[in-house]
Amino acid sequence: MKFPARVSYGLRAAIVLAENYGNGPVLGKKISAAEGLPTAYLEQIMASLARAGLVAGTRGAGGGYMLARAPSSITAAELITALSGPLQLSDCPDGGACCGDDSPACPVAELFSAADAAMRGVFNASTLADLAERRTSLRTEAQMFYI
């Protein structure tokens, strides 16, 4: 499974919002510049996140985007689902509906079901706060100089 680019862009934009959480709205232009995203595309992504109740936007002077909830309460799974739909590798875990086999004993369905559960587990266990903290850590490590 490959996620569309909008998922990566949306996660990166949401991390910017997490890094600025509690400091008021962040201008779309600031997010675009920080992440190298086209402003018009960012607005589409933010609209999807707003429809999912993850981001709030304000217009006018002092406007911009901010998280609707604390970064520690927003999972990567929620963000990805808002941007690309349900987290599911195959239709097969739906009980064999993908191949017409109504038998409950399908090894392919079991395989995909296990993979789906593992994928959901990873994305549900990662919060936006975790991602923002990790980015800060990676940036700090990258700036260290050794003599």
CA 67, distance to chain mean position in Å, is 13
Residue 30 has pLDDT above 60, yes or no: yes
| Helix (H) or strand (E) run with residue 111 in it | helix 107-125
Mean per-residue pLDDT for 114-137? Answer: 93
Q: Would you state the structure tokens that stand for residue 108, as one six-digit string?
A: 């392919």
pLDDT digits (tens, 9 = 90+) for 59-118: 887 789 999 999 999 999 999 999 999 888 777 755 555 666 556 677 888 888 888 899
| Residues 111 and 65 sit within 8 Å (Cβ to Cβ) | no
Beta strands in 2-146 (DSSP E): 55-58, 64-67
pTM here?
0.84
Mean pLDDT in the chain?
Answer: 87
Q: What is the DSSP letter of 57?
A: E
Give the Å distances, CA to CA, from 41 to 45, 88, 97, 121.
6, 25, 36, 29
Domain ranges of the chain: 5-142
Higher model confidence: residue 9 or residue 108? 9
Q: Would you state the structure tokens that stand for residue 116, as one six-digit string?
A: 């789906």
Q: Would you state the structure tokens that stand for residue 86, as one six-digit string?
A: 């349900």
pLDDT, residue 55, reads: 97
Burial class from Cβ neighbours inside 10 Å (0-12, 13-18, 19+) for residue 33 reads exposed
Instruction: Say whether domain 5-142 belongs to CATH 1.10.10.10.
Output: yes
pLDDT digits (tens, 9 = 90+) for 63-73: 899 999 999 99
Q: 60-65: list long-range contacts, CB under 8 Å, 24+ apart.
A: 62/24, 62/25, 63/25, 63/27, 64/24, 64/25, 64/26, 64/27, 64/28, 64/30, 65/13, 65/17, 65/25, 65/26, 65/28, 65/31
